[in-house]
Each structure stands twice: as structure tokens, then as C-alpha cells.
Amino acid sequence: MKISHADVFVTSPGRNFVTLKITTDDGVVGYGDATLNGRELAVASYLRDHVTSLLIGRDPHRIEDTWQYLYRGAYWRRGPVTMAAIAAVDVALWDIKAKVAGLPLYQLLGGASRTGALAYGHASGFDLEALFDSIREHLELGYRAIRIQTGVPGLDSVYGVAASTKIGERYDYEPAQRSAAPSEEQWDTRAYLRHVPTVFEAVRNEFGPELPLLHDGHHRMTPIQAAKLGKALEPYDLFWLEDCTPAENQEALRLVRQHTTTPLAIGEIFNTAFDYQTLITEQLIDYVRSAVTHTGGITAMKKLFDFAALYQIKSGIHGPTDISPVGQAAALHLDLAIHNFGIQEYMRHSPETLEVFKTSYSFTDGLLHPGETPGLGVEYDEQLAEKFPYDPAYLPVNRLLDGTVHDW
């Protein structure tokens, strides 16, 4: 069996996605997600201009060898563009292998370790009333764990707060705005630190102690500010506090950890296991947040989770709507198979997205399941996808009140 074609598709059914399709000489097709929010065309070019021709004639079953060939062979290692491109190839080859075996992918990863993957959804609101409505709506949909993001008094827009909290309108907070340049937002950490604990107190009073609650700090705090927030949130028993600092400085988390028992999750902008080396070996975090799509695919993520398992650190795979349904399905197969599963992020893709990407995963009683279709269980409708051409969109830029550019 040999790879005969490798094609890259860019489409925008509600938002931009990059998809790699690998076809074998006997007609088996595998898909990989190569979407990098706001930088989509860079990954499409990396694949089209430097990778697809190298795949033709290769044995699709040699997944590890192909991974090493692309990673080591390029000489230039790591980085979001490279690792998203490698991830797309890797996931497409796993899709092919599982289809040839006639098995859902999770069976090739060791089989199911659980009945389904606990998923968390995104509730948000500028004020408590809107936030509570959003939480109730998520509970009605069956969510059993919920991320809480709120407005901050004095700030017009805040990361993670949807324009509408009604699911089906603009419930999916989409930070990437369709325009030729990024929008700009404002930020005030002191106002945020004063406000957030009062919101969690109100949510616990209204919804009780059982519901797992999460919060995303989106890299906006210094280590000492993050330590302060972690301490302040301890009475509200968070499932995790995510991305409390910009963690390319891994040592920063040592300081946070010394001050708080609030569990820490990090890694949605990481792209290799090396980004976690200190965090894992020193047990400075509790959850690994990488996306399959951005961290080298199933092959790299399985190794990363096995490494984390040695230190009792669990998974919390990144699953916003800018991960395509192909990337989300890949995550679900891993979630079902690995022992150290923690939780899976699950925002809902728009109806247009789900018409282009036909999925076989399901959501029942708060648990996601990848389904039993051989392979990943996702089909891509090429003809329909052509009706949604690429439309530039950028993530925002954030500034402090005095105009200084800040992490967003």
C-alpha cells in the first residue's frame, strides 16, 4: 500500500479550517486537521509547498517513521506551524490505519478505558444574570462540567465572554474576528483579580458545591498575580485554573504552585513535550492542555500523556471551535483510550461546519464518545466546502489601559 495523493483544503463554513486529505493507491482516505487560528494559510503553505510531495509513494502504515522523517528531517524543529502540519499528516495516517483495520481508532490505541469522556462547555455572561442563564442552558444540554468566564467592571469586552449567551446565536465566543487586521481589546488585571472571586462565590451559592467549575486566565497574569487568584479561588473548589501565566517561562509555575492548591492546567499554545518538561517532572501542573492538532498529532500526544501519567498529571485536551471536527474526533479517540484522562473541552461547532464535516461522535449525559465508525469517524464534503471560501480572520490584540500591548 502506498500514498498516491495528498491534498490540502481551506474552507470557511462559519470559521476557517485547514484539512489534509491523504489517499492511498487502493483508495483509502485519511483526514488530518491543520487549522491554526489566524495563521491558517501558513500551515496550508507548509503542507502544500514542503510536505505533500514527500508523502507520495510512502507506506501509509509507517506512522512513527513518517513523523520522525518530517520532524527531524526538516532540521527546523517545533513551532506551531510545523507541528500543526506534522499533526495533520499523523492524524490522517492513523485514520487510514484504523480504516484498513476496520476498527474505530481508539481500538488501536489500546481500546476503551472508560464509557465516555467527561466534557466541559463554555458558559459566559457580562453580568451574573446572563452568566447564570448560560450555565442553566449548558446544564439543560447535558453538560456536567462548566467553564465560567465573565465581564469585568470597567472593561467593554473580555476574552471568553460571548456576544450572546444563547446557544445557537453567538454562544461560541469566537475571538478571531473576520477582518484584514486584529481588533484591539483593553485589559486591567487589578480589576479582574478583584472581580473574579466574587463571581465564583455567586455561582457556588446559586448552583451548589458539586458542579465542576473551570476558569481560563488566558496568560494574562504575572506569577504573583496568578498565585493571588489561585488562593482567592480555593474556597470555590475549581476543577482547574487554566493558563494563569504565559508559560513559556515554565519556572514561573513553581511560584504559583507554592502558594495555592487550586489545580492548574496549561498548554493550549504549546506544541511539543519539551514545552512541558519542567512542568511535568516537577509536578507544577495538574492537566496537560495541548491540542492534538497543534502538538504533532496522535503519535506525539500519546507519548506526552504517557510521560505525564508517570507524575499523576492528567489530560485536558484543547477543544475550542478552532479545532476542526477532525481534530476533535482525534482527541476523543485518545480520551477514550488513555488511562490518565482528565476532561475534554467541548464547544459546539456551527451547523454549517457540521455539514461540511460529517461526524460520528456523540454527547450523552455529559460524556463524549468518538463512535464506532472505522477510522476517526469524520467525512469531509469537498463540494460543499468549496462554497465557503477562506475569509481572513484575526485573534485580537490586547492593551493595558495605558496602551501597552499585553497578553490576551
For the annotated catalytic residues, the residue numbers are 159, 218
Cβ 398 to ligand KDG shortest distance, Å: 12
The separation between CA 110 and the C-alpha centre of its own chain, rounded to angstroms, equals 23
Cβ 369 to ligand KDG shortest distance, Å: 21
- Alpha-carbon distance values, 42 to 20, 35, 182, 271, 326 (Å): 14, 10, 17, 16, 19
Q: What size, in residues, is the chain?
A: 408
Spell out, one character per residue from 200 to 239, where the chain touches Mg ion: x when CB under 5 A holds, - when not.
Answer: ----------------x-----------------------
Cβ 260 to Mg ion shortest distance, Å: 19
Q: Which is nearer to ligand KDG, 214 or 256 (CB)?
A: 214
Give the one entry of Mg ion, ligand KDG, none that residue 97 binds, where binding means its C-beta sits below a cut-off of 5 to 8 angstroms depending on kind.
Answer: none
Give the one entry of Mg ion, ligand KDG, none that residue 32 binds, where binding means its C-beta sits below a cut-off of 5 to 8 angstroms depending on kind.
Answer: none
Q: Which is nearer to Mg ion, 90 or 242 (CB)?
A: 242
Give the one entry of Mg ion, ligand KDG, none that residue 37 binds, where binding means its C-beta sits below a cut-off of 5 to 8 angstroms depending on kind.
Answer: ligand KDG
What residue is closest to Mg ion based on CB?
216
Give the one entry of ligand KDG, Mg ion, none that residue 175 binds, where binding means its C-beta sits below a cut-off of 5 to 8 angstroms depending on kind.
Answer: ligand KDG
Give the alpha-carbon dihedral of 173, 176, 177, 178, to 10 degrees. Answer: -120
- Alpha-carbon distance values, 66 to 57, 77, 160 (Å): 12, 15, 37
Give the one entry of Mg ion, ligand KDG, none that residue 345 binds, where binding means its C-beta sits below a cut-off of 5 to 8 angstroms depending on kind.
Answer: ligand KDG
CA–CA separation, 265 vs 133, rounded Å? 26
Q: Which is nearer to ligand KDG, 67 or 126 (CB)?
A: 126
Order of strands across the sheet that contains 405-406: 184-187, 397-400, 405-406
Q: Which class for 3: exposed (0-12), middle (13-18), buried (19 or more C-beta within 10 A)?
A: buried
Q: Which is nearer to ligand KDG, 327 or 366 (CB)?
A: 327
Q: Which is nearer to ligand KDG, 289 or 333 (CB)?
A: 289
DSSP reduced 3-state for 66: helix
Cβ 230 to Mg ion shortest distance, Å: 16
Give the one entry of ligand KDG, Mg ion, none that residue 320 binds, where binding means its C-beta sits below a cut-off of 5 to 8 angstroms depending on kind.
Answer: ligand KDG
Tell how strand 362-364 and strand 397-400 pair up. Answer: unpaired
Binding of Mg ion by 174 (CB under 5 A): no
Cβ 164 to ligand KDG shortest distance, Å: 18
Element (H or E) spanning 380, and its range? Answer: strand 378-380
Q: Which of residues 256-295 bind Mg ion (CB under 5 A)?
A: 268
Binding residues for ligand KDG, rule: CB under 6 A, are 37, 175, 216, 218, 268, 318, 320, 322, 345, 395
- Alpha-carbon distance values, 50 to 22, 59, 240, 401 (Å): 15, 18, 39, 43
Q: Which class for 301: exposed (0-12), middle (13-18), buried (19 or more C-beta within 10 A)?
A: buried
Q: Which is nearer to ligand KDG, 19 or 37 (CB)?
A: 37
Cβ 294 to ligand KDG shortest distance, Å: 9
Quick count: other Cβ atoms within 10 Å of Cβ 175? 20
Cβ 217 to Mg ion shortest distance, Å: 9
Pinpoint the alpha helices (H) of 17-62. Answer: 40-50, 52-55
Give the one entry of Mg ion, ligand KDG, none that residue 12 binds, where binding means its C-beta sits below a cut-off of 5 to 8 angstroms depending on kind.
Answer: none
- Alpha-carbon distance values, 14 to 10, 133, 170, 248, 294 (Å): 12, 25, 11, 31, 21
Q: Which is nearer to Mg ion, 33 or 216 (CB)?
A: 216
Binding of Mg ion by 322 (CB under 5 A): no
- Alpha-carbon distance values, 63 to 27, 147, 202, 271, 298 (Å): 18, 35, 50, 19, 10
Q: How far apart are the first and last CA of the chain?
A: 46
Residue ranges that bind Mg ion, judged by CB under 5 A: 216, 268
